Structure 1
Amino acid sequence: MTSLDTAPASPAATSAPRTYRNYGHPLWRRILVSREAAVIGALILVIVVSSGVVRNFGSPITMTYLLLDVAPILLIALPMTLIIITGEIDLSVASIVGLSSVLLGTLTQGGMPIELAALVAIIVGALGGALNGFLITVVGLPSLAVTIGTLALYRGLAVGLLGTTAVTDFPEFWTDLAKSKLGDTGVPAIVIPFLVLAVIFAVLLHFTPFGRGIFAIGQSSEAATFSGVHVNRTKLILFVLSGAVSAFAGLYYTLRFGSARGDNATGLELQVIAAVLLGGVSIFGGRGALHGVIAGVLLIGVLASALRLANVTSDVINIITGVLLVLSVVYSSFLTWLQKKRQKPGGNRKSPPRTATS
């Protein structure tokens, strides 16, 4: 009689599962042969070509304004990366930027010290992220539907608080600080808080059990739950971080331009998501790296800056950004399809064990 070991495997058991990156390859190959490396290479290529073709592109003042422009996107992209790796999305980030801008303007106009007003704005942003996380993790609603709704809610609150007017009376010290540079380098001072946050998020994502749980959730939330990962708590924390960082980006946005308006940063969420996906993060969750996302943000910023210097209209720049977003999603799906086609039928199936007879 043949034992149960000889029973044929079910189709589900032999199908290729979603897996982490193959760490069996050498370190140099994992670094150089990756989507993140391709984005970094494209960034270097665009910088070199733009410097030779576009007049004044390589000047220090152009680089300064480039970093000033992409700073809010760089900041918001940090928590957005972690959220998308879990398989969720947050479309309310730009409206939180606008809400924090309005809060900073109205509170300082009412006599509150700007430092305290900034703290209140960040707390409100964190609470907005907590509301998103609560509706997604506790109520069980899809993140796309929730954050589309809160996008309209937070933007409506911002416009309702301030109307169509703008607050422009801010302390000169803070507006100058938002636009200041590090000595004679031409590097904006906002780079310092960004680097601090980037290190924190990179360590959190890539070097802690919490970060491994984020990747596990993106691979399979059910498997992550059975592995001991607190799925709902992890997602809630990420949405709170997204709200707080978005509010901080709103403070910088307001002080840099010296204007608090309810429509500040309208449409910024699309640029953030485009940069994150372009940086190698899978829209389906489960993979991504922060250095690729940072390169993706800079790539979009460099392209936009070069095109503006070449007198290309903003509409064309938006079209190019949209094309990059579509191509990044299609490219990710194409690679997944190609990997499946290259797998041999039954390639993951182990050889049948020796049977026991009676």
Structure 2
Amino acid sequence: MADTPLTRAVRRDTAVGALLVLLLLLSFGFVDGFGNALNLSFLIGNTLPIALIALPMTLLVVSGEIDLSVASTAGLSGAVMGALWNAGLAIETIIPLCLLLGVVCGLVNGLLVTRLGLPSLAVTIGTMAAYRGIAQIVLGSDAVTDFPAAYLDFATGRIDGTFIPYAFVPFLVLLAIAAVVLHATPFGRSLFAIGANEEAARFAGVRVKRHKLWLFVATGLLASLTGVFWALHYASARYDNATGLELSVVAAVLLGGIDFDGGKGTLGGAIAGVFLLGALQNAMSLLDVSAQSQIIVTGVLLVVSVLGPRVARQLATARASRRAASPVP
């Protein structure tokens, strides 16, 4: 079989999936309490915020862009949710308004990148600070905890007789939709083309700016949904909810084989990376590894995930150069 970008991505997916299986086997065998239903439910529930944002972030990175404001958007969504609940609005009204807010946040990022031509890294670092500041203005230092019991139960409960959280079911629906969009539609194929060579994609008739704008909007929407879920799952709406979550999302996506330069990767690999990181953090917590050490591990994985593909490309280029230079017998 020819060595194509797709086959290389599939091999990376297989490697990440194998690491996930190995980690789970080791954790079940050697980490006390890892395999009980309550802990597995906590593992999935605590990983879901990362997994939710990883869905649109994967598509965004494939297209060659990134959004570092996702955690601040989630925090802003949670803060607005708490403020509106304190103001007496019904939760059924509040949640759609929070999702609309996420769309606006994503739209701002997208317009700054696609219409003004600003780099997404710089733009979203700026809006990361701005959205978090607005969240603090909206809710201050208050913590809102008295949300309706039915919503709290859905965000924290699990299907009877299993370790699977209720919230995992809608996530699987969103995962299926994202997988179809990225891997089975012309829109998804155009994202790979944009990430590989934006100018070539534009000359081929791809609406590059429009596609990227939609991706930023989708990322804002899923980030705000994550903010709502976070507030309900942890039964607390605060302005600093989800602080630092963007690091975990980016680390997990890159760990799963999505190339930071764009144009390569699969959603399956990204989600495997998400749950690999989630299982690793869970196992470290059960082994009483400090939170600071867990952050260090996440940072190291992020660096390795970025360096790995580049080193592999350089080695492949060097081997190809040596073959070309070697005399033909």
Return the TM-score normalized by structure 1.
0.88
Shift of 1:42: 0.4
1:254 aligns to 2:234 (yes or no): no
Name the structure 2 match of 1:68. 45
Name the structure 2 match of 1:91. 68
Name the structure 2 match of 1:297. 274
**Which letter maps to 2:244?**
G
Correspondence list, 1:45-194, <5 A:
45-194=22-171
Counterpart Cα distance in 1 of 2:139 and 2:178: 33
Secondary structure in structure 2 of the residue aligned to 1:34: helix
Name the structure 2 match of 1:225. 202
Return the TM-score normalized by structure 2.
0.95
Shift of 1:241: 0.1
Name the structure 2 match of 1:277. 254
Describe the superposition over 1:301-322 as per-residue Cα deviations: whole angstroms up to 9, x where unpaired: 1111111111111111111111
Contact 2:10 2:266 in 1 (8 A): no
Shift of 1:22: 5.1
Name the structure 1 match of 2:327. none
**Cα separation, partners in 2 of 1:187 and 1:221, compared to 1, 3 Å:** same
Contact 2:257 2:265 in 1 (8 A): yes
Contact 2:53 2:249 in 1 (8 A): yes
Counterpart Cα distance in 2 of 1:21 and 1:79: 25
State the number of aligned residues: 323
Correspondence list, 1:32-51, <5 A:
34-51=11-28
Counterpart Cα distance in 2 of 1:95 and 1:39: 28
Between structures 1 and 2, the one with greater helix share: 2
Describe the superposition over 1:173-210 as per-residue Cα deviations: whole angstroms up to 9, x where unpaired: 11111111112111001111111111111000000000
Name the structure 2 match of 1:17. none
2:319 pairs with 328, 331, 342, which one?
342
Structural RMSD (CA): 1.7
Contact 2:78 2:238 in 1 (8 A): yes
**Which letter maps to 2:305?**
S
**Which letter maps to 1:91?**
L
Shift of 1:50: 1.5
Name the structure 2 match of 1:21. 4
Name the structure 1 match of 2:302. 325
Fraction of identical pairs, as percent: 48
**Which letter maps to 1:21?**
T
Name the structure 2 match of 1:350. none
Contact 1:109 1:169 in 2 (8 A): no
Counterpart Cα distance in 1 of 2:263 and 2:244: 26
Contact 1:76 1:249 in 2 (8 A): yes
1:288 pairs with 265, 289, 297, which one?
265
Contact 1:31 1:37 in 2 (8 A): no
Shift of 1:61: 1.2
Segments of structure 1 that go 5 or more residues without pairing to the other structure are 1-19, 24-29, 348-358
Describe the superposition over 1:206-232 as per-residue Cα deviations: whole angstroms up to 9, x where unpaired: 000000110000011100000110000
Name the structure 2 match of 1:12. none
Name the structure 2 match of 1:13. none
**Which letter maps to 2:50?**
I
Please identify runs of 4+ aligned residues in structure 1 that moved more than 2 A: 20-23, 30-33, 344-347
**Which letter maps to 1:247?**
S
Describe the superposition over 1:52-93 as per-residue Cα deviations: whole angstroms up to 9, x where unpaired: 111111111111000010000000000000111111110000
Contact 1:96 1:125 in 2 (8 A): yes
Shift of 1:342: 2.3
Counterpart Cα distance in 1 of 2:154 and 2:219: 24
Segments of structure 2 that go 5 or more residues without pairing to the other structure are 325-329
**Cα separation, partners in 2 of 1:276 and 1:32, compared to 1, 3 Å:** closer
Secondary structure in structure 2 of the residue aligned to 1:89: coil
Secondary structure in structure 1 of the residue aligned to 2:231: helix
2:222 pairs with 239, 245, 251, which one?
245
Counterpart Cα distance in 2 of 1:33 and 1:85: 15
Shift of 1:168: 1.3
Counterpart Cα distance in 1 of 2:323 and 2:285: 53
Contact 2:75 2:242 in 1 (8 A): yes
**Which letter maps to 2:4?**
R
Moved more, 233-242 or 165-174: 165-174
